[in-house]
Amino acid sequence: MMTFDNFTLPHWPHTYGSPNGKGNIRTVPADFIVKETLAFEPSGSGEHIFLHIEKTGENTEYVARQLARFANVRQRDIGYAGMKDRHAITTQWFSVWLPKGDEPIWANFSAEGVKILGVTRHARKLKRGALAYNQFELTVRQWQGDIDSTIAQLTSIKRHGIANYYGTQRFGHQGQNMVKALAMFNGEKVPREQRSIYLSSARSFLFNCILARRIDDNTWATGLNGDVFMLDGSRSGFACEQIDDIIRTRLDNNELHPTGALYGKGDLRTSIDAQRIEQSVFDEYESLTRGLIAFGLEMDRRALRVNVQDLTWNFGDENTTLLLKFSLPAGSYATAVLREIMDV
């Protein structure tokens, strides 16, 4: 029976050769700037107050708790579209359900590292994933590496996208979320608020393993017979038993992406070669798949590749500092970009 005693995360493969750069990230919060853009425009009226907030050196859950305390509401009445890094300057939206009664004077809200940039209203609570994209501005200090090789890798990323790995932060410090997930699946009781974190970690781990195998056989971007493809910038997709020239062209143009399973109850939708790879991962980690089924998760799909929009780079301070700017859709990780060019 599989256990995660002394667990360490696998070294999942890179897509454009081994990274040769190294340096320091997050030396100060301003080295990691994230700005989220919602997938819709708040209407200006409704039962939910929408707050545009800049936070520095604090995590999203901390801000949610402070807002709930200030507005005298339950924390479940607070919504946000995505979790944002703590060691960063991040701009994101929160919602507060206040259908009646006096609205707090938001100018009086005070929490360390938190600034309210704007207030409006909307008819519905802000839900996870309701983002168009996140915009990143990252500074790598004390950069060392081969400049030409790094530029070649960045050029490939700009043209072909990156492997859509879940970032290591998904798995907790030294992968401890995976240890706790397996313990939970084996009957150990865990706090309700932690349960979803461990379930997400287990599903993310299986997805990363599938993606790694697709990178090893060089089909993560070109596709396999039996794949389920997802349209770029959309959750829509379709199954394809036999790849033809039209599909190949759309894949080459980054209009379509192969997908990997987010394990749960239901149909994989893949077949033939693509299903064979996914099933081999599930067979290897049966303790995780059984646990995910027992907790009632539903099958879903995630793109194996993601386009990196508006990617620019600049080497400064006599090539000892690297500044990167780019945008990613909701659910994709800036560290997935960094890991292709440097040891993170």
Closest of 95, 93, 85 to residue 117, by C-alpha: 93
Which residues neighbour 23 within 8 Å (Cβ) at sequence distance 6 or greater?
140, 141, 142, 143, 144, 145, 322, 342
Alpha helices in the chain (DSSP H): 60-71, 147-160, 176-185, 192-216, 245-252, 272-284, 286-294, 334-338
C-alpha 112/C-alpha 265 separation (Å) is 43
Measured distance CA(91)–CA(187) in Å, rounded: 39
Structure tokens at 125: 């609570």
Task: Look at residue 1 in the predicted model and tell me its pLDDT.
Answer: 47
Give the integer Cα–Cα distance in Å for 21 and 149. 9
Given 3-state DSSP classes, what are the helix, strand and coil percentages for the chain, each rounded to the nearest 5? 35, 30, 40
94, with CB counted inside 10 A (0-12, 13-18, 19+), is: buried
Q: How far apart are CA 175 and CA 29, in angstroms?
A: 24
Q: Largest Cα–Cα distance of the chain, in whole Å? A: 61
What are the Cα distances from residue 43, in Å, to 51, 105, 122, 126, 130? 13, 21, 5, 12, 15
Give the three-state DSSP class for 76: helix
CA distance 150 to 21: 7
Compute the distance between CA of residue 301 and CA of residue 299 in angstroms, rounded to an integer.
Answer: 7
Q: What are the 10-residue block averages of pLDDT along the chain, 344 residues in total?
A: 67 94 94 96 95 95 95 94 91 94 90 95 94 96 95 97 95 91 94 91 98 97 97 93 97 97 96 97 96 96 98 95 96 95 90
Tens digit of each residue's pLDDT (9 = 90 or more) over 61-101: 999 999 999 999 999 999 999 988 889 999 999 999 998 87
Count CB-CB contacts under 10 A for residue 289. 20
Residue pLDDT, tens place only, 251-308 = 999 999 999 999 999 999 999 999 999 999 999 999 999 999 999 999 999 999 999 9
Q: How many Cβ atoms from other residues are within 10 Å of residue 90's Cβ? A: 27
Extract the tokens encoding 235. 């959750």
pTM exceeding the 0.85 threshold for the entire prediction: yes
Contact predicate 330/134, CB 8 Å: yes
Q: CA torsion 256→259→264→270, rounded to 10°?
A: 90
**Catalytic residue selected from 5, 77, 85, 102:** 85
pLDDT at 2: 53
Closest CA to 149 of 342, 344, 343: 342
Count of other CB atoms within 10 angstroms of residue 182? 22
φ and ψ of 19, to 5 deg: -70, 140
Q: How far apart are the first and last CA of the chain?
A: 32
Going by C-alpha positions, the residue among 298, 101, 328, 80 that lies closest to residue 203 is 298
Q: How far does CA 129 lie from the centroid of its chain? A: 10
Instruction: Say whether 85 is catalytic.
Output: yes
